[in-house]
Amino acid sequence: MAFRRIPLNELFDFDLRLFDQHARYEGRWSDEQLKAIVERLGLPPGKNLSCAIASFARSLVLDAKTDNHGIHFSRDRNKYADRYLVDGDPYNTYYFTTKAADWLQAHYGCEQLRGAHVAGRESAEYCSPELMEAIGDLVDPLEPRARPARPELIIVRDAHKKNTRYSDTSETKAMRDRMWIFNDHLAQRDIRRRCQMVEVPLLRRVFNLSFERGGRLYGWGESYQGLPKEQRAEFTEVIDGIVQPFVEIDYPAHHFRLAYAQARKKMPPGDPYDIPGFDRGLVKLACLISFNAQDKKDAVGALMGESGCSYDDAKAVIRAVRRKHYRIREYFYSDIGARLMRTDSDMSVEIMKRVMAITGRCPLPMHDSFLVPACDAEVLAQVMEEFAAEYGVEADLSITGAALGGKENNTSSIPTPYMADQSAELRIFPSAQIASAASPTSIDCPSRPPNGSAGPPSLIDNPTGFALWLRDRNAEDKAAMEHAVMPAHLRRNGARSWGEKYVELAQHAGWIIAEDEISRRNALQAEHEQWIDALRAQDREQNRLLTKAVEEKLALSAARRARQEAKIAALIDAICDYVGAHPGANQTAIVKAMGQQAGVFFFTAEIARCFTDDVRQAIEWAGGRLRREKDGRAYRHYLVTE
């Protein structure tokens, strides 16, 4: 019997071109960018479907002029309902996208490949010669998409680290609005390291399993957060014409301090990770694992896997951690670590919000530390100490940065509550001294190529060198840039306008510079920025209303908690008094005594769930411990002495 290899396109009814590297359909064109295409295609103006067709057509033509790989889109309704795939384009919905693709296929012969579910491939479409002839002259490959992308910034992940769906509440909407305010501001900053621009990615809050766990701020993609501390200390920013070095202010052992604050226990003096006979890094890792592990066995195994130490060493260091921090032993193996992350992430957001309101500059968050220019360090330290006091945490800040010569200092040795010029341990220099200590001449800039060299530096590989070369070009090219129509607000924060970027690209590629094109691009940018400003004003108002709603909700929660605490206050007192008066009482006697206290020792499951950590600590201080046993279908709760 003869066998032959069956091609995939015969085995399954789909085109193998579905496996090509198609570009994802984005859209995000403004109505102004689509207006001329709607008219050229003969579509009725002012209709959403017309704009959707024009958006899809423009994306097809743009792809044909650049990569020419086609674009892919989904015909699955669920994909468009996924908050993690939405990019903020009102025309990128299931109805508009599929209708636009089918209309262009029917009227302009654009080839469409239907997706194959069995192969996990989405549908794809290619630009036709008829469509290119119709609107090709209206699509400029250099013109950016005027509608900014709005990806999801509030992420909830499941146990497998996959994004999971959730329903929006007033709290999540307020979080999202606040994160957009942070990101919009950070996008305008010009932060550099050794003259190379530091890319600040979109910051997102990532929660684990629920909104009660995690919530830290992570950069999306390659981020400054992944750089070593020594490289972060090299960040600089020009503020008011002065190069300001960055400093990093940190809450040392932040989770330990939060745990002790929540337990209302005093933290042992000194470094909480300093245990004689053990490496400090291993102790720190053991502490963090103990907070998140389910039990001791789980903690020992995780520590062995993370550090590579032996079983005996892992067991010994975990035992030593529990022995040193016996005051908070109930926090170990309790999965409290992720909940502490939620607390420290809330602190981070509030600190960033307050510093931004005072200085006008948003700090760069790490997790339990922040990066700011040296001129903002005193404000940041003050705000961090204020929030530490609000959360009941001992503020023992650690400062690292170029202003300290790359060294690390601790503000606990500073006699004044905040960093000041008179401090002998840490000096945050005034602007005049920073100007002399970190003058632009001391920056390690790449040198300009000598005359007669092979050509200008590469714009991609060495953008700073190319900028220096471009700045020294002949007077004619410089005059073309200076005479560009430049609305005043386009130069804010020293950023280049779209017209300047066009001139730079034109000079690099050897094109003829058209002043009309410069004016047109700057006018488009002005309109775009006015639209952005209006969006931000709308976001600020919405954030104010949402914040007010959240505050009212928190006030109701506080009143409800006060009533609950009043209900169990008598229970706490009775338990503590009885156990204190009868330290040797056995279990039977205590249960019997509880039965005699009518209305006080009424241990139902509902009352037991009301026991907060404070209640349990009061019982523990009195020498007792809560227990429960099966009684038919229910549980009976009682108190025993240790």
Q: What are the residues whose beta carbons fall under 8 Å from the beta carbon of 327, sequence distance 6 or more?
A: 260, 263, 265, 266
Task: Name the residue among 249, 235, 199, 189 with its Cα closest to residue 220.
Answer: 199
For strands 203-208 and 196-197, give the pairing: unpaired
- How sure is the predictor about 397, in pLDDT bands with cuts at 50, 70 and 90? confident
Ramachandran quadrant class, 241 (left: phi over 0; alpha: psi -120 to 50; beta: rest) = left
d(CA 282, CA 594): 46
pLDDT in tens, 287-300: 888 888 878 888 88
Residues in the chain: 642
Closest by CA to 631, choosing from 604, 611, 609, 606, is: 604
**Sorting pLDDT into bands at 50, 70 and 90, what band is 598?**
very low
Look at the block and give the residue holding tokens 């190069």. Answer: 243
- Convert the pLDDT of each residue in 551-582 to its tens digit: 777 777 677 666 656 655 655 566 556 555 55
pLDDT, average across residues 105-119: 82
User: Average per-residue pLDDT in the chain?
Assistant: 73
Position 304 scores a pLDDT of: 84
Cα angle, residue 346 at apex, residues 344 and 348 outer, rounded to 5°: 70
Of 405-409, 420-424, 570-574, highest mean pLDDT = 570-574
Highest mean predicted confidence (pLDDT) among 6-10, 128-132, 261-265: 128-132
Specify the higher pLDDT residue, 13 or 22. 22
The mean pLDDT of 600-619, rounded to a whole number, is 54
- Rounded to an integer, what distance in angstroms lies between the CA atom of residue 117 and that of residue 105? 21
DSSP 8-state code for residue 578: H
Q: Is the pLDDT of residue 238 over 60?
A: yes
Domain extents in the chain: 8-138, 154-255+339-440, 256-338, 550-641
Q: Long-range contacts of range 472-477, CB-CB < 8 Å, 24 or more positions apart?
A: 472/448, 473/507, 477/503, 477/507, 477/513
pLDDT above 60: residue 199: yes
Amino acid occupying residue 82:
D
Confidence at residue 608, expressed as pLDDT on a 0 to 100 scale: 57
The kind and range of the H/E element at 326 are none
What span, in angstroms and rounded, lies between the C-alpha atoms of 100 and 102? Answer: 6
Which residues sit opposite 339 in a β-bridge?
none
Q: Which pLDDT belongs to residue 599?
A: 35
Q: What percent of the chain has pLDDT over 70?
A: 66
Contact (CB, 8 A) for 123 and 115: yes
Contact between residue 370 and residue 363 where contact means Cβ atoms under 8 Å apart: yes
Check residue 282 and give its pLDDT. 86
CB-based contact 260:267 (threshold 8 Å):
yes
According to DSSP, the β-strands at 191-193 and 196-197 are antiparallel
Of residues 409 and 355, the one with the higher pLDDT is 355
Per residue in 64-75, pLDDT (tens digit) is 888 788 898 888
pLDDT at 433: 35
| Predicted confidence band of residue 100 (pLDDT cuts 50, 70, 90) | very high
- What per-residue confidence (pLDDT) applies to 441? 33
Alpha helices in 66-169 (DSSP H): 77-81, 94-108, 129-135
DSSP three-state, residue 234: coil
What is the pLDDT at residue 536? 75
Task: Identify the weakest region by mean pLDDT among 8-17, 463-472, 510-519.
Answer: 463-472
What is the pLDDT at residue 446? 36
- Find where tokens 């960018």 sit: 33
Cα 440 to Cα 241: distance, rounded to the nearest angstrom: 10
Is a pLDDT exceeding 60 seen at residue 412? no
Tell whether the model's pLDDT for residue 442 goes beyond 50.
no
Which tokens is 309 given?
Answer: 């130490």
Q: Which residue has the tokens 């940065």?
A: 401
Distance CA 575, CA 639 (A): 8
Is 183 strand, coil or helix?
helix
pLDDT at 225 > cutoff 80: yes
Is the pTM higher than 0.75? The answer reads no
Average pLDDT over residues 25-50: 88
